């Protein structure tokens, strides 16, 4: 959590600090893709767009769930990426456009990271769209 205590200082400085903190929040996004080649192509596409700093592919991810009273199994490739929180909506739209279909996608906050990793994400992703 980012906390800063300021007394007797201009409100504009406080707003600037809040904007800086928001732009620097990091997340990890998980995207579930049906085909390995699509997953790899998507990962490369997001890297080239500078929407993500890093990504990994986990092939043959087995998921089990209940449907119609029966246990079902699904095998997908999971694309896991690290980026800025402010880029989630853009990434979500890019995934939809790239794959041509909606797939499960969600994010988790990165609440702690060593400075090298945090800087790697910040310096390798877009700051504005």
Can you give the CATH number for the domain in which 111 is found? 3.30.70.120
pLDDT tier at 10, thresholds 50, 70, 90: low
**Taking Cα atoms as reference points, which of 86, 85, 105 lies closest to residue 95?**
105
**Is 115 within a domain?**
yes
Rounded to an integer, what distance in angstroms lies between the CA atom of residue 114 and that of residue 91? 24
**Is 129 within a domain?**
no
Domain encompassing residue 67? 26-123
**Is 18 within a domain?**
no
pLDDT tier at 8, thresholds 50, 70, 90: low
**Is 42 within a domain?**
yes
pLDDT tier at 58, thresholds 50, 70, 90: very high
pLDDT at 7 over 90: no
Mean pLDDT estimate for the chain:
87
pLDDT at 110 over 50: yes
Least confident span in 3-7, 21-25, 109-113? 3-7
pLDDT tier at 66, thresholds 50, 70, 90: very high
For position 18, what pLDDT does the model report? 45
Q: What is the DSSP letter of 1?
A: -
pLDDT at 76 over 90: yes
**Is 6 within a domain?**
no
**Is 8 within a domain?**
no
pLDDT at 112 over 80: yes
Rounded to an integer, what distance in angstroms lies between the CA atom of residue 17 and that of residue 37? 42
Q: Specify the number of domains making up the chain.
A: 1
For position 61, what pLDDT does the model report? 95
In terms of phi and psi (left: phi > 0; alpha: psi -120 to 50; beta: otherwise), the region of 69 is left
**Is 92 within a domain?**
yes
């Amino acid at each position: 959590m980012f906390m800063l205590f300021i007394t007797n200082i201009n409100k504009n400085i406080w707003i600037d600090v809040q904007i800086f903190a928001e732009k620097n929040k990091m997340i990890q996004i998980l995207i579930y893709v049906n085909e390995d080649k699509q997953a790899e192509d998507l990962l490369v596409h997001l890297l080239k767009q500078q929407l993500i700093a890093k990504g990994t592919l986990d092939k043959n991810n087995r998921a089990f769930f209940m449907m119609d009273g029966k246990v079902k199994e699904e095998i997908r490739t999971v694309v896991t990426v690290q980026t800025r929180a402010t880029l989630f909506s853009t990434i979500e739209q890019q995934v939809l456009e790239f794959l041509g279909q909606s797939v499960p996608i969600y994010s988790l906050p990165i609440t702690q990271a060593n400075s090298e990793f945090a800087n790697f994400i910040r310096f390798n992703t877009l700051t504005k769209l």
